[in-house]
Amino acid sequence: MRRTLAAARNIIVFALLLVVRNCHGKPGQQGTLSALKDCIVQAGSNASDIVEHDGPDYAKYSELNYQWNLIHEKKFPVAYFVVRSVTDVQNAVRCCTAQSVRIVAKGGGHSYEAYSFGDSTALIVDLQALHELVVSPDRQSFTIGSGALLGQLAYPLLEGYNLVTPQGTCPTVGIVGLATGGGY
């Protein structure tokens, strides 16, 4: 039952983000970003998990905004929201919808076309803290959090449970991107 609930939760998290990913607004305007942050904090999420492009923690922003594919011009989204729970994701979806702000999900950030970095008007919801791994009691299946990276899964699954996933060799690819064939 726990495995089923965890799988359903992860599917819902990703589906919510896909449904609203094309909701456009202009959060680059200071009033809109402030209103968005206020909404997210009032909903119960932590303000320190929102890392702004022009904010005081530019080192953290730069780390979150690392873009490996240099073919495309680098994108600078207005902010990152490092979610810690499904509730944080729900708060982001509700508040971005209410403020007409574009929301983009980011797992590993390996989208070839750089979709997971949005644009200068987007709030990027970084899912990497949602990386739980639950193996079924019979060890025939497992549930993976939507922010898990392949490198976080391969060794624990093989060594601990003698299970494997079909994957490549890059440890920083996100499981959602691998599963959807597109990278986010």
The residue extents of the domains of the chain are 2-126, 133-180
The pLDDT tens digits for 37-89 are 999 999 999 999 999 998 899 999 999 999 888 888 899 999 999 999 999 99
Q: Which amino acid is at 154?
A: A
Which pLDDT value is given to residue 18? 54
Which pLDDT value is given to residue 17? 54
For 22, residues 6+ apart whose C-beta sits below 8 A from its C-beta are 102
Q: What pTM was computed for the model?
A: 0.79
> Which fold, 2-126?
3.30.465
Average pLDDT, the chain: 83
**How far apart are the C-alpha atoms of 51 and 65, rounded to whole Å?**
10
Looking at residue 110, what DSSP letter applies? -
The pLDDT tens digits for 12-34 are 555 555 544 444 445 445 458 89
Which pLDDT value is given to residue 2? 57
**How far apart are the C-alpha atoms of 41 and 103, rounded to whole Å?**
16
Residue 99 tokens, joined: 């403020």
| Nearest of 50, 45, 49 to residue 77 by alpha carbon | 50
User: How many other C-beta atoms lie within 10 A of the C-beta of residue 17?
Assistant: 24
Q: How many residues are there in the chain?
A: 184
Q: Tokens 């080192």: give the residue.
A: 59
Asked if 128 contacts 147 with a C-beta cutoff of 8 angstroms, the reply is: yes
For 109, residues 6+ apart whose C-beta sits below 8 A from its C-beta are 66, 67, 68, 116, 117, 172, 174, 183, 184
Q: Tokens 């508040």: give the residue.
A: 95
Residue 104 is inside which H or E element, if any?
strand 102-106
